[in-house]
Amino acid sequence: MVRTQIYLTERQRDQLAAIAEACGKKQSELIRKAVDQLIDQAGSSRRDTVLREAAGIWKNREDLPDFKTVRRGWDRN
């Protein structure tokens, strides 16, 4: 792990301390969990954006073979 410092408002510090005490966990553990959730959420959002932007990018290409014809060649008789 890497040590880092963060600044919290008094309200954030107090609430975090109360949650940690109620859960029986350390504040640092709760912070790491929150950061992991943020990273996961941001990753999903980025992935969705990339997929939306990529959708249909080849739809007007005329230099590609007809997929249905190519696919029929793969069928077993």
- Per-position pLDDT tens, the chain of length 77: 999 999 999 999 999 999 999 999 999 999 999 999 999 888 888 888 888 888 888 888 888 888 888 888 888 76
Q: What is the 3-state secondary structure (H, E, C) of the chain?
A: CCCCCCCCCHHHHHHHHHHHHHHCCCHHHHHHHHHHHHHHHHHHHHHHHHHHHHCCCCCCCCCCCCHHHHHHHHCCC
Q: What pLDDT does 18 receive?
A: 98
